[in-house]
Amino acid sequence: MADKKKQLDAALSHALMNDMERIEYGFATYWKQIVIAAVAVVIVIAAVFGYFAVSRNAAREAAFALADAATVDELNAALDKYADAPGVAAARFRLAKLLSADKKYDEALQELTAVKAAKPGEPLLGMAMLSMAYIQELKGSYEAAAAEFEAIGALPEVSAGVRAEACTNAGRLYLQLKELNKAAAALKRADIPDLRSTTAAAWSMDAKSLLVALESGEYGPYKPEAAPVKL
């Protein structure tokens, strides 16, 4: 009977406690568990913030290293060290330009192929693809260069300026190769109306000038292909 009364008194006492008293009572009773849990939370938070701080510093270090590299050796060293950094594609493009300037065309093409495979956004993708075609021309592979320019001119994922430049250069090379019908087709495709792109407008004007010269006979006898008959 006495035990039951003690239980009832304890229950009544707990029920009559205000919130602050309950907190104080709970802390007094479970203070060890509370301290252990608090320390664990602090450790987890510190670890998370530490991870993000280290990651942020590593990303900053990689970005500066790739951006500051100015020679072939420096770029190669930075690319070896930071192969997975976000700025790798742009660094490879700069390396390709240096290699091309040194007439190391095959090495430059390897770098540009890697840039293309990384699928960067515009304008880097278009610039890389145009550079590959220009290097083919520098190597003397005019047919391959013309075909590459023509293919770029049909890609919807590159900008209007890139497409117009590609089509104009395809037409120019086909004129040199005396493939006049192909030249005319490419030059006509260079007329890409885009009010937002002054680059596209400039290349379109160049293409129109070449087309006028073609049609006036400056590149030899030219007879436009007959349009297919619609049935």
pLDDT in tens, 38-83: 545 444 444 443 433 334 554 566 566 666 777 999 999 988 888 8
What does the alpha-carbon distance between residue 215 and residue 151 come to, in Å, rounded to a whole number?
24
Terminal Cα distance for the chain, rounded: 109
* Chain-centroid distance, C-alpha 17: 63
What does the alpha-carbon distance between residue 34 and residue 163 come to, in Å, rounded to a whole number?
66
Dmax over CA atoms of the chain, in Å, equals: 123
Residue 163 near residue 133 (C-beta atoms within 8 A): no
Predicted pLDDT at 21: 56
Residue tagged 């950094």 (tokens): 85
Band of residue 101 on the pLDDT scale cut at 50, 70, 90: very high
Q: Per mean pLDDT, which of 78-87, 113-122, 127-136 is the most reliable?
A: 127-136
